Amino acid sequence: MNTGSPDAPNEDALRVYLKQFLMDPFVVDMPFPMRYALIHWAILPKRPAESAKAYKEIWTENGSPLIHYCTQLAKGLQTRFSEPVELGMAYGNPSFKQGIEKLLDAGVDEICLLPMFPHYAMATFGSCVAGVMTALKKRAALRVVPPFYLDPTYIRPLAESLTGVEEHILFSYHGLPERHLKKTDPTKSHCLATDDCCETDSPAHATCYRHQCMETTKAIIAVADLPKERCGVSFQSRLGRAKWMEPYTEETLQKLPSLGIKKLAVICPAFFCDCLETLEEIEIRGQETFMEAGGESFRMIPCLNDSPAGIHCLETLMADAANWPSA
Ligand SMILES: C=CC1=C(C)c2cc3[nH]c(cc4nc(cc5[nH]c(cc1n2)c(C)c5CCC(=O)O)C(CCC(=O)O)=C4C)c(C)c3C=C
Ligand SMILES: [Fe+2]
Ligand SMILES: [Fe+2]
């Protein structure tokens, strides 16, 4: 399961998709009347046209890159397992609800859900699990592959993709409102209480997106044997006026050349597949920002996508989960 894309890169399709995405209480976590008002009055009048323009920049003859890569990955996985594999998106098509019905029609009595998000976030992993549990209505048992932010099958190929990269490396992760980090802290006192909370052991880290992103960064740096001073972290894709995790990628890209960093490579390890957020926000707009601020070269490191390493990673995660005792 992944987030999903609009059916087409046009305003009408974007309105449908954005409404479904942003009315999800796991994404915009406000009481219904406030969420409804914000989405319908502040976001839906303008954002569909803006987002349609962005999607047009990355749309290919195969449609949305995200859906294309996920479809190829699901096909690849199906060649590795005798049990049926279905792809389902949280928003848009193919929907996870259709996927569940297809699996039930095929007679399965247990479903293994693989949210294609390396890190836990209420807006992604949390929403997928809740959506599937509600739609499944206990018609089959469910097991869920946990966040795989440190899994060697994910870390190793990303580290290898940095081989020979001599530039400064920016690890740009999708951001979250800080409010989400506090909300999913089970201790209610750890996350963001101190500057170094993510470095201090805590049960909160099982659901701390920031901690998990930092761990992924450290693991890739260690496996790729990169000098730490040549690496930085930032958070992208901020939406709305609330405070999101900092530093923001856009501001970082603007600032780096003035610090003498003129050659840059960007890797986006929060994304299993390249999508709007990597291809348009970083590779197109981010590159422009960096070069206009005085940068000399900009290189985008691809996500695992439907590479053999990508299929191997998902296959291993799925096989490991299938070996756990039944729930
Ligand atoms: C990688 C993990 C992701 C997190 C965490 C996440 C949080 C999050 N996203 C929004 C709002 C939007 N996200 C949109 C697209 C989108 N987001 C992710 C991943 C994460 N989002 C993906 C893979 C995609 C799909 C892109 C594609 O290629 O189709 C969008 C739609 C596009 C746009 O108009 O920008 C929105 C809106 C919020 C509010 C949020 C956390 C609260
Ligand atoms: Fe933390
Ligand atoms: Fe997003």
Q: Is 275 in the pocket of ligand 1 (CB under 6 A)?
A: yes
Residue with the smallest CA separation from ligand 1 atom 35 is 51
Residue with the smallest CA separation from ligand 1 atom 34 is 51
Nearest atom, ligand 1, residue 14 CA: 34
Residue tagged 């009595």 (tokens): 109
Could you tell me where the beta strands, DSSP code E, fall in 182-310?
231-236, 263-267, 297-300
Smallest-distance ligand from the CA of 126: 1
pLDDT at 322: 81
Nearest atom, ligand 1, residue 17 CA: 31
pLDDT at 324: 77
Averaged pLDDT, 7-19 = 98
> What pTM, to 2 d.p., does this model score?
0.97
Whether residue 15 contacts residue 56, with contact meaning beta carbons closer than 8 Å, is answered with no
Both tokens of 20, joined, read 């479904």
Among 248, 286, 285, residue whose Cα is nearest residue 265: 286
Dump pLDDT digits (tens) for 240-291: 889 999 999 999 999 999 999 999 999 999 999 999 999 999 999 999 999 9
- % of the chain exceeding 70 in pLDDT: 99
CATH code of the domain occupying 152-300:
3.40.50.1400
Flag whether pLDDT at 323 surpasses 90: no
Flag whether pLDDT at 325 surpasses 80: no
Residue with the smallest CA separation from ligand 1 atom 33 is 51
Higher pLDDT: 322 or 51? It is 51
Dump pLDDT digits (tens) for 22-35: 999 999 999 999 99
Distance 277 CA to ligand 3 centre (A): 8
174 is known to lie in a ligand binding site:
yes
Helix pair 152-160, 308-322: axis angle to 10 deg:
170
Distance 233 CA to ligand 2 centre (A): 15
Q: Is 216 in the pocket of ligand 1 (CB under 6 A)?
A: no
Dump pLDDT digits (tens) for 32-83: 999 999 999 999 999 999 999 999 999 999 999 999 999 999 999 999 999 9
Whether residue 114 contacts residue 314, with contact meaning beta carbons closer than 8 Å, is answered with yes
Give the other-Cβ count within 10 Å of 302's Cβ: 16
- % of the chain exceeding 90 in pLDDT: 97
Dump pLDDT digits (tens) for 126-150: 999 999 999 999 999 999 999 999 9
Query: Residue ranges of the domains in the chain?
Result: 152-300
